[in-house]
Structure 1
Amino acid sequence: MSTSEDVRPLIPAPRTSPENDPPRAPVRRPRLLPALLVVALALAIAAAGLLVRAHQLGDTPATDNRALVDTAATAQVAGDVSSAVTRIFSYAPDSTAATREAARGLLAGRAARQYAELFGQVEKRAAEQQLTLTTHVVRVAVSRLTDTSARVLLFLDQVAERRGKPPTTAAAQLTVAAERRADRWQIVDITSR
């Protein structure tokens, strides 16, 4: 037999009502999904912004400037323009006709008109004063270059010699606009600086 201590009641203990239950911690629902959506949206906006900025950078005039990336084309235009400037701004009293003829093939547009006006006066003075002018390109820089146009900055030394007088040297600076016609560059505008 068993003792009274081993006896368990057969009737269960009364249940308490929900009002009497101890307070429970609120049920936490995972907030991971909304947080992931916010992060994904932020990344998508940032990526779209980067794509727009990359497109803007790709469409700047600097990317069209071959002088920044094409050394062969830059060297060609620098050489052609330097050679042309040397030829059209160098003459002797007995060779002005040859200089004028060279200018016809090297100049076009506004530059040809400017040169024709200026050189008419130079021819008279060169003969009267027995003036020889020799132009040397000291430095050349191509600031803008496309397939068909270029802007070139030239630094020149010009040596003037008159019969019976010592030579004088003067520095000059020109900005030249050139256009590619056929397979060579022609000067279309000259601005003295």
Structure 2
Amino acid sequence: MTDQEPRRPRRWPLPLALVLLVLAGSCLLVLGDRAEAQAEANRALTDGQTTAEVVGDVGNALGRIFSYTPADTAATAKAADALLDGPAAAQYRSLFAQVKQQVADQKLTLTTRVVRAGVTELSGEQAKLLVFLDQTSQREGKAASTAAAQLSVTARRTGGHWRITELKAR
């Protein structure tokens, strides 16, 4: 029979575990700092007053530019000139030029109401929103119908008010 010496415990698992814990902790600290920096840059959840202001201005603007009657499309076009900038203004002018004739021919009235709006990003003078709308259309002599719509909106503060700079149907 052979004598077996008792096995010595290995000493490397404990130092390895400590090194791994230190590395994991360091990674978590770095990720936490990044998340904190992003949260500070995006004031959507921390600046209630500005967030409410953006939602109010953008909601009112959408209600005005997406509501019209056959008798007064000029008021809608004028509102768009005052409330839209950049790509949103160009996109709207192109779309409204096509719709304008149909509105008169079909005697179509459209009323748009913001159901819910939320600011997803707010930094500096720019905001991004997700907006849910109800649009009620009615042709003369026919029953009204309502449809839901969803938009991604980018707005920029100009002259103390938020103007829409980008619109995207979702």
Give the structure 2 partner of residue 147 of structure 1.
124
Identify the residue that residue 87 of structure 1 maps to in structure 2: 64
Q: Which residues in structure 2 correspond to 1:1-193 (within 5 Å)?
A: 49=26, 55-59=33-37, 61-193=38-170
Q: Give unpaired runs (5+ residues) of structure 1.
A: 1-41
**Quick check: which one's strand share is greater?**
2
Return the offset for 1:56. 3.4
Distance 2:126 2:164 in 1: 10
**What is the deviation of 1:57?**
3.9
Higher relative contact order (CA 8 A, sep 6+): 2
Q: CA deviation at 1:150?
A: 0.5
C-alpha distance in 1, partners of 2:35/2:65? Answer: 40
Question: 1 CA distance for matches of 2:148 and 2:34?
Answer: 41
SS in 1 for 2:44: helix
**CA distance, structure 2, for counterparts of residue 108 and residue 73 of structure 1:** 20
Identical-residue share of aligned pairs (%): 49
Give me the CA root mean square deviation.
1.9
What count of residue pairs does the alignment treat as equivalent? 148
The structure with the largest alpha-carbon Rg is 1
Find the residue that maps to 1:68 and give its secondary structure.
coil
Contiguous gaps of at least 5 residues in structure 2: 1-18
Instruction: State the AA in 2 paired with 1:177.
Output: T
List, as ranges, runs of 4+ consecutive aligned residues in structure 1 with deviation greater than 6 Å: none
